[in-house]
Structure 1
């Protein structure tokens, strides 16, 4: 892997992690078509996710501080933040169970570009249905345990390359009547425990990385962090304006084209 390839993949990860078009699917397709590209391993992809993890932490730093300090506060807003903390923990349970149980199987699909392309078609359909039939109104104070478990399960299934994590989780909440901005915030915050857990599990792969390649890995992670901040800001604006249809069409076109090319 070259420095240019690392930067390109980092930019792709940052842009597509939060836009509802599947970062894993785009990384799989890009790595397949990059000339002379040698797969650096899953740990590189996890580091790219760590970059976008940092983007979420920075962008939602105020919400995170309020949620994490809520068990120790007694102000008027503390009960809501404590409830959000518990909901995030509850939603992380099905994600962890699915991820740990089916991790190897789903990682094997990363190299199956026709399957990845078909999953992009699924992502497009989820976005279309959620935008067409969304019921808005509920905010953070009305999120339920059922919401958390459903979204956690959907997030776990989004380990499949081509299924957008942000797109599928936001779509699930929109269909359950949650306000768009609330759905996006909860989706991004729920990703943090999952990415942190994946990074811990992949830490054992550090020993297999040549020291000379560490700068390449870090460059990709840094670019993913910067572009991730930009894409979060963009998606929040898209959610407010109810314009997910464009991403649905993009996923259908990309999935159809790459399926036809690689089948």
Structure 2
């Protein structure tokens, strides 16, 4: 049986997952206030990534259908389809060793990197001209860099959404395209991490299978709402306001992570 605290952390995870702020920072900070250890809250956060990853499959089901139906077609949806596969492989190759050999030193490095990214976004905010035509198709090179950033984001203090979306915005891609690419690249990693950690928690007896299903369902529903709201936001606002918004959220992520 789960406690009320489990539900609160689950709700926070679902709402924060797809916004450009480290959801692990939010959950870690809240867990301290609720009496959890950071280690336990992170285990829960990783397992609950499963619900968030499945939410992406629902929100972007039409994009995924187009992707797989026309995989042999060289025309791109938002990117070259083969470059997506290469970027995905690169992200896993980078993430796995970093995850296995992670050290406390990486936390400070993560803070510095996020602050540099936020600074770059602030500069971009003033450089972008209102109504300027932004790029719609992500190049193979930028897809690979995005995949690399996706892998690096396994380190503490790194916001996956902040790094990947922020990089693409700085490279002058449309905010909507940057968000979609970030989502589609992140889904496989979320589902993989979620499945593995859910299995560990259930096997160890920390959570029953029925409790895990309930918590994943909550995360799934809230992640759908979170993803759709963030995507709609990126479509409606001017690119300059979006980059400013993104920079503020990344800075907030650093503050929350350091406080936890």
Structure 2 gap segments, 5+ residues each: none
Shift of residue 122, structure 1, vs aligned partner: 5.6
1:86-101 correspondence runs (5 A): 86-101=82-97
The equivalent of 1:198 in structure 2 is 193
Asked whether the equivalents of residues 118 and 162 of structure 1 are also in contact (C-alpha less than 8 Å), the reply is no
The equivalent of 1:248 in structure 2 is 247
Spell out, residue by residue over 1:30-82, the C-alpha distance to the aligned partner (whole angstroms, 9 max, x if none). Answer: 2233225585476532331111111111110000011012136x7xxx73359
Corresponding position: 1:224 with 2:223: no
The equivalent of 2:136 in structure 1 is 139
Q: Take 1:126 and 1:224, find their aligned partners in 2: how far apart are those partners?
A: 32
Structure 1 gap segments, 5+ residues each: none
Shift of residue 8, structure 1, vs aligned partner: 1.5
- TM-score, structure 1 normalization: 0.79
Question: CA 1:198/1:133 → structure 2, altered by over 3 Å: closer, same or farther?
Answer: farther
Spell out, residue by residue over 1:174-225, the C-alpha distance to the aligned partner (whole angstroms, 9 max, x if none). Answer: 1112111111111100112222333455476256431753333333322211
1:151-190 correspondence runs (5 A): 151-190=146-185
- RMSD over aligned CA atoms reads 3.4
1:1-263 correspondence runs (5 A): 2-36=2-36, 39-40=39-40, 44-71=44-71, 79-81=75-77, 84-106=80-102, 121=115, 124-125=118-119, 127-133=121-127, 137-140=134-137, 143-199=138-194, 201-202=196-197, 205=200, 208-210=203-205, 213-240=208-235, 241=237, 242=239, 243-244=241-242, 245-253=244-252, 255-256=254-255, 259=258
Q: Take 1:206 and 1:238, find their aligned partners in 2: how far apart are those partners?
A: 35
Question: CA 1:62/1:255 → structure 2, altered by over 3 Å: closer, same or farther?
Answer: same
Q: Take 1:41 and 1:230, find their aligned partners in 2: how far apart are those partners?
A: 23
Question: CA 1:6/1:120 → structure 2, altered by over 3 Å: closer, same or farther?
Answer: farther
Asked whether the equivalents of residues 165 and 178 of structure 2 are also in contact (C-alpha less than 8 Å), the reply is yes
Asked whether the equivalents of residues 14 and 225 of structure 1 are also in contact (C-alpha less than 8 Å), the reply is yes
